[in-house]
């Protein structure tokens, strides 16, 4: 039986030994074996830096995002094959959807965010310009550029598809190649995932590599430009974090560790209320999905002391309906743990938990299974424990990484906040309540110990993704025991893979570096109205000046009548004069903007297709009847859209009065054709 191959340095390579055997979690049958012996891991890292990195950095953020979207579509067409392998890890169809479809969803999410929230460029502008001099000739700007290393990901066994993809997506958009090192138990599924990625032919060579087996001496070859992202146990995270190379080179290291996540039922969640039912359903689901092998699973369930019996009975009744067995069989809702070793680990942890908690449902030593052998397969029963003394240490310190949760009572809002904090850092906590005051108190009180907090009520229940579902838009990670790191979080995850650098220079220099026109940089007024130029012809700095235009009292009166905006500053001379900001009747701000548009718009049909937005509007100086307005419109940023015959142009609009004072400043957004015949 051939061992798993790794994909490194541009090719598939077999290990120098058979290595560790890998078994079907359901049948106990050997599937393959895994080892990294004989692989040149230093060369693999260098291949990523030398080949993958330059290829990615040649692409813009939009181009990288488009490749992720295409890859997501390709993988979605081949997911049935991944489902079949996923069942051998003990996962049910629902479990596999969370892992496989969830991972593909992250690719789609970053494909969308990369195109909508990042420029069609290779440099990301972070924050606003910082004026560093009185005259405006010396400015500062933070920019982000890709690190010149490799994003090494060391993943856990429980999500062999989602884990690699949720780390790959932000690194890829950032322009940093990835090396995937999956956990051994389920690495055969990750290996097939990488095979599919390579078969798609979509990603440049060197941008994705795979090492099956141990990390070997990989970490010994990290440079200051590399990154490491780890998912797994807190103890392993501590060992990796302390590696001399990571410390010596200040390698960016982020950990997402298993944590003692909690869920809290609010005092309003009495029997018969929707909140009671939502809590019971969520707890039972989080215990059994992926057989409880989720870093976000509910390990501690806190309920008002007077509801302990009711909750225990209701959750037990729900768990009794869960059929355990072969995940491909009809009716089975919970499969096996990932391995027999994992089952023994859960049983060892249960011994400590059962010193202070008694089983309300389930047994660590017996489970009835469907279409499988309970001993050859890594099966275990869902187990709900009850610890009536929440002050005991074990539930707040020991995690059984399986279908296990401990029910504990609380007596007040302050009490439950203190209990939640005893987990010493969690990935997620949830509060099930219809009482917004209680929800606020708990969230504000416990947020410092949590990376994410879900408040579940009847309003959100139908669309909520649930306690245990990280989303690509939001950060996934947590403080303390949870690892102290962050993953995903939308563009935050992309920027983690980039270096933020403060650029100082003149407006002309800042404009050249950022591809975004900066006040004070050169303008180009060549006599051709910029609205007559297609995207291919338009240049940063192209300018048109319109005006002057006299603002009359009749203009102000007409605008007030026409729009219905009769605010006293525009209609009552005495009241306007009493306002500390005005010297009498002032023109409406939106009248100023409307008049400015009339000054810069070229009315004839041309390459400008639509005005679709106005941003960052500020009114800086009041406009009075008798003032004359001039507007200067400058092409600020040009963003072609790869999937359309047009692009976005951002224009800087500066409206000034006869004294040269800026009356209003804002950005105008237009859609402009790439070519115009």
**Residue 282, pLDDT above cutoff 70:** yes
Residue 463: band (very low, low, confident or very high) from pLDDT cuts 50, 70, 90: confident
In whole angstroms, give the CA distance from residue 153 to residue 254.
Answer: 10
What mean pLDDT is predicted for residues 247-264?
A: 92
Residue pLDDT, tens place only, 129-145: 989 898 889 999 999 99
pLDDT of residue 233: 84
**Residue 446, pLDDT above cutoff 90:** yes
Residue 470: band (very low, low, confident or very high) from pLDDT cuts 50, 70, 90: confident
Q: Which tokens belong to 127?
A: 């924050």
DSSP 550-614: E--HHHHHHHHHHH----HHHH-HHHHHHSTT-SS----HHHHHHHHHHHH---S--SEEEEEEE
Cβ atoms 240, 230 nearer than 8 A: yes
What mean pLDDT is predicted for residues 259-268?
A: 94
256 is an active site residue: yes
**Residue 677, pLDDT above cutoff 70:** no
In whole angstroms, give the CA distance from residue 549 to residue 83.
Answer: 67
What mean pLDDT is predicted for residues 244-251?
A: 94
648 is an active site residue: no
Which is the catalytic residue, given 166, 256, 399, 487?
256
Which is the catalytic residue, given 295, 399, 486, 487?
295
Q: What percent of the chain has pLDDT over 90?
A: 71
What mean pLDDT is predicted for residues 413-423?
A: 95
In the chain, DSSP finds a helix count (H) and a strand count (E) of: 21, 28
Give the predicted TM-score (pTM) of the model.
0.89
Collect all residues with Cβ–Cβ distance below 8 Å to 111 and sequence separation of at least 6.
Answer: 65, 66, 68, 69, 72
**Residue 151, pLDDT above cutoff 90:** yes
For residue 359, the surrounding DSSP H or E stretch is strand 358-361
The average confidence (pLDDT) of the chain is: 92
For residue 450, the surrounding DSSP H or E stretch is strand 450-456
In whole angstroms, give the CA distance from residue 284 to residue 509.
Answer: 59
**Integer angstrom CA distances of residue 251 from 149, 225, 483, 486, 547:** 10, 7, 16, 15, 56
Residue 265: band (very low, low, confident or very high) from pLDDT cuts 50, 70, 90: very high
What mean pLDDT is predicted for residues 548-571?
A: 92
Q: What percent of the chain has pLDDT over 70?
A: 100
What mean pLDDT is predicted for residues 590-594?
A: 93
What mean pLDDT is predicted for residues 372-387?
A: 92
């Amino acid at each position: 039986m051939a061992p798993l191959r790794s994909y490194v340095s541009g090719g598939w390579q077999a290990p120098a030994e058979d290595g560790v055997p890998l078994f079907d979690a359901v049948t106990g049958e050997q599937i393959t074996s895994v080892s990294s012996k004989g692989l040149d891991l230093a060369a693999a890292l260098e291949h990523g830096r030398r080949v993958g990195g330059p290829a990615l950095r040649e692409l813009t953020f939009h181009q990288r995002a488009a490749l992720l979207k295409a890859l997501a579509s390709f993988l979605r067409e081949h997911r049935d094959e991944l489902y079949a392998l996923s069942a051998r890890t003990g996962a049910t169809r629902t479990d596999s959807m969370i892992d496989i479809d969830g991972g593909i969803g992250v690719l789609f999410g970053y494909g969308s965010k990369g195109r909508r929230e990042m420029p069609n460029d290779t440099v990301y502008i972070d924050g606003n310009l910082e004026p560093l001099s009185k005259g405006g000739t010396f400015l500062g700007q933070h920019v982000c550029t890709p690190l010149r290393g490799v994003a090494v990901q060391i993943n856990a066994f429980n999500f062999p598809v989602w884990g690699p993809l949720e780390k790959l997506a932000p690194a890829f958009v950032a322009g940093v190649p990835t090396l995937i090192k999956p956990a051994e138990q389920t690495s055969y599924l990750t290996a097939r995932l990488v095979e599919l990625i390579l078969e798609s032919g979509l990603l440049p060579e060197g941008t994705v590599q795979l090492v099956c087996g141990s990390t070997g001496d990989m970490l010994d070859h990290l440079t200051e430009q590399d990154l490491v992202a780890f998912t797994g146990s807190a103890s392993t995270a501590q060992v990796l974090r302390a590696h001399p190379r990571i410390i010596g080179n200040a390698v960016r290291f982020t950990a997402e560790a298993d944590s003692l996540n909690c869920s809290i039922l609010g005092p309003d969640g009495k029997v018969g209320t929707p909140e009671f039912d939502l809590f019971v359903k969520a707890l039972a689901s989080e215990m059994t999905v992926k057989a409880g092998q989720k870093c976000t699973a509910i390990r501690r369930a806190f309920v008002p002391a007077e509801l302990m019996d009711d909750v225990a009975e209701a959750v037990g009744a729900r768990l009794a309906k869960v059929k355990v067995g072969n995940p491909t069989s009809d009716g089975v809702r919970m499969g096996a743990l990932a391995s027999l070793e994992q089952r023994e680990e859960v049983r060892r942890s249960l011994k400590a938990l059962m010193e202070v908690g008694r089983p309300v449902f389930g047994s660590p030593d017996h489970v009835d299974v469907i279409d499988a052998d309970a001993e050859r397969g890594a099966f275990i029963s869902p187990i709900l424990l009850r610890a009536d003394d929440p002050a005991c240490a074990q539930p707040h310190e020991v995690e059984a990484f399986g279908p296990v949760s401990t029910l504990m009572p609380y007596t007040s809002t302050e009490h439950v906040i203190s209990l939640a904090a005893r987990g010493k850092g969690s990935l997620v906590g949830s509060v099930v309540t219809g009482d917004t005051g209680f929800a606020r108190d708990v969230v504000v009180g416990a947020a410092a110990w949590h990376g994410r907090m879900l408040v579940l009520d009847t309003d959100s229940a139908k669309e909520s993704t649930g306690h245990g579902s990280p989303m690509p838009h939001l950060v996934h990670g947590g403080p303390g025991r949870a690892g102290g790191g962050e993953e995903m979080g939308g563009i935050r995850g992309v920027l983690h893979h980039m270096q933020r650098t403060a650029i100082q220079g003149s407006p002309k220099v800042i404009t050249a570096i950022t591809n975004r026109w900066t006040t004070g940089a050169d303008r180009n007024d060549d006599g051709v109205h910029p609205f007559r130029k297609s995207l291919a012809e338009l240049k940063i700095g192209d300018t048109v000046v319109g005006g002057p235009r006299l603002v009359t009292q009749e203009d102000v009166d007409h605008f007030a009548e026409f729009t219905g905006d009769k605010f006293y500053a525009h209609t009552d001379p005495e009241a306007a004069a009493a306002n500390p900001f005005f010297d009498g009747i002032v023109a409406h701000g939106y009248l100023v903007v409307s008049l400015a548009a009339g000054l810069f718009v070229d009315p004839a049909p041309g390459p400008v297709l639509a005005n679709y937005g106005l941003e960052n509007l500020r009114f800086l100086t009041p406009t009075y009847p008798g003032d004359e307005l001039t507007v200067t419109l400058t092409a600020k940023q040009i963003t072609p859209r790869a999937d359309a015959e047009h692009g976005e142009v951002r224009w800087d609009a500066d409206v000034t009065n006869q004294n040269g004072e800026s009356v209003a400043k804002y950005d105008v957004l237009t859609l402009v054709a790439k070519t115009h015949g």
